[in-house]
Amino acid sequence: MTWSQRFEGTLNEAIARFNASIGFDIELIEYDIAGSIAHAKMLAKTGIISPQEGETLVSGLEQIRAEYREGKFVPGVESEDVHFAVERRLTELVGDVGKKLHTARSRNDQVGTDTRLYLRDKITEIRAALRQFQTVLLDLAEENVETLIPGYTHLQRAQPVSLAHHLLAYFEMLERDWQRLGEAYQRVNTCPLGSGALAGTTFPIDRRYTAELLGFDGIYRNSLDGVSDRDFAIEFASAASLIMVHLSRLAEEVISWSSQEFNFVTLTDRCATGSSIMPQKKNPDVPELVRGKAGRVFGHLQGLLVLMKGLPLAYNKDLQEDKEALFDTVKTVLVSIEAMTILMAEGIVFNRDRLDNAVAEDFSNATDVADYLAAKGVPFREAYNLVGKVVKTCLASGKLLKDLTLAEWQELHPQFEADIYDAIAPRQVVSARNSEGGTGFDRVREALKNARQLLVN
């Protein structure tokens, strides 16, 4: 029986199942045990229990951890949640002294501590996965500095860019994701243990000692805040959502690129799947799933925000609902980063010929014609209007800019000379955009070097 003598009857079975979180919060067991070990040591250190009692509790807890790892500890609904499950087992193992573990503690500060310990680990894992993904993107970018790809705005051909530059854009997004998680980590790494149920405790506990044992950077200054806010989880879910936004955008591009309409990449057999009815098909299931999973993670963020918005201080059982959202966010982000890493490493091959043709076959060098005249002193807006007219004529006659004869160019404007052909060749067009942060090859090489440097740190 879990509750105090105040209770006479037993809980309705369906309600017991409804109330229980053991089905999912078992995920926290290693953190729960770590938190309890620190708490037991603190109780002994402060003389709240004897040193011997402290040792008994710690070795009992370690035994539970071993049992769990061996698959021998499988608590059920009768334990309600992971905290009760561990405490019950402890008392079975070490006898009545096990009942002293919960002195000067509540499940409220306990669960807050467990969740933060869990998230701390997971943030570290996700950041490592991001680093790996960045490495793959960087490797791919390094091979493709001079591979050109149409650059789009409004999904209309705009100006060609270096493929490396395009890939590095994602590298940068992921870099910010990595940083953002690092910043969230700092706030996750604050210890609420010792807040008690809501108001602190009458015992002479040493909160800084438990925080230090658990590797926290500091403690919550206010006990009500310590047990009741979940802003750290929301902040994490928000950072996770941004990661999914970035993955999903790249996924969307790979999906488009692999369509026959674009044909910029071919999916390798390592990451593509077939159709059960159409034998000719090769489907981009991997990026599609990533794009789909993004919605799931955004849903968890929304769920957490709504969960919190009406809660009075301090703990409310609603907070039990934070866990599945958090666990699923962590798992979804991790598998999505992994899948995208594999996809970019071995799942696609860029069709270089097709890309070369693509950038040579359009009017994405039109800005460069205007720039050519502007560099010779023609006001840019005037040059822009003139080139607009040229494009219109070319479209009508089925020609590209490169097909115009020098005489035709000069008829359009006397400032055009033979070097106009060089100026509008795709390679030149890209290479000339050497402003800081631009796609010019020199800038891209510089960016690659800086990116490599970031990964070392």
Residue number, 4 or 156, with CB nearest to ligand ARG? 4
Judge whether 193 and 113 are in contact, CB under 8 Å: yes
The CA-atom distances, in angstroms, between 333 and each of 189, 220, 254, 297, 330 are: 20, 28, 19, 8, 5
Enumerate long-range contacts of 56-60, CB under 8 Å, 24 or more apart: 56/94, 56/97, 57/90, 57/94, 57/97, 57/98, 57/100, 57/101, 59/94, 60/90, 60/93, 60/94, 60/98
- Residue from 111, 211, 304, 337 binding ligand ARG (CB under 6 A): 111
- Interface with ligand ARG, residue 144, by CB under 6 A: no
The CA-atom distances, in angstroms, between 31 and each of 26, 77, 120, 214 are: 10, 20, 10, 10
- Interface with ligand ARG, residue 230, by CB under 6 A: no
Residue number, 323 or 433, with CB nearest to ligand ARG? 323
- Interface with ligand ARG, residue 41, by CB under 6 A: no
Tokens found for residue 22: 């053991």
Residue number, 3 or 380, with CB nearest to ligand ARG? 3
- Interface with ligand ARG, residue 227, by CB under 6 A: no
Q: How far apart are the first and last CA of the chain?
A: 53
**Annotation marks residue 154 as catalytic:** yes
In terms of Cβ atoms closer than 10 Å to its own Cβ (0-12, 13-18, 19+), residue 342 is: middle
Closest distance to ligand ARG from the beta carbon of 267 (Å): 43
Site for ligand ARG in 312-351 (CB under 6 A): 315, 317, 319-320
Closest distance to ligand ARG from the beta carbon of 132 (Å): 32
- Interface with ligand ARG, residue 36, by CB under 6 A: no
Residue number, 175 or 324, with CB nearest to ligand ARG? 324
DSSP state of 363: S
Count of C-beta atoms within a 10 Å radius of residue 55: 14
Give the binding-site size for ligand ARG (rule: CB under 6 A). Answer: 11
Phi and psi torsions of 183, nearest 5°: -70, -40
Which residues, in sequence order, are CB contacts of 327 under 8 Å at separation 6+? 24, 27
The CA-atom distances, in angstroms, between 45 and each of 50, 193, 379 are: 8, 16, 80
Residue number, 14 or 277, with CB nearest to ligand ARG? 14
**Annotation marks residue 248 as catalytic:** no
Written as one letter, the residue type at 279 is P
Distance CA 311, CA 315 (A): 8
Closest distance to ligand ARG from the beta carbon of 197 (Å): 7
Q: Which of 50, 59, 259, 275 is catalytic?
A: 275
Instruction: Tell how many helices (H) and how many strands (E) occur in the chain.
Output: 19, 6
Closest distance to ligand ARG from the beta carbon of 317 (Å): 6
The single residue listed with the structure tokens 């590797």 is 215
Closest distance to ligand ARG from the beta carbon of 114 (Å): 9
Contact segment (CB under 6 A) with ligand ARG among 104-112, 126-134, 325-333, 376-384 equals: 104-112
Mask 64-83, x = binds ligand ARG (CB under 6 A)? -----------------x-x
Closest distance to ligand ARG from the beta carbon of 85 (Å): 10
Q: Where are the beta strands (DSSP E) in 209-331?
A: 218-219, 265-267
- Residue from 56, 79, 108, 223 binding ligand ARG (CB under 6 A): 108
Q: Which of 50, 106, 154, 336 is catalytic?
A: 154
Closest distance to ligand ARG from the beta carbon of 12 (Å): 17
Written as one letter, the residue type at 37 is I
- Interface with ligand ARG, residue 107, by CB under 6 A: yes
Site for ligand ARG in 82-101 (CB under 6 A): 83
Residues that bind ligand ARG (CB under 6 A): 21, 25, 81, 83, 107-108, 111, 315, 317, 319-320
Catalytic residues: 154, 275
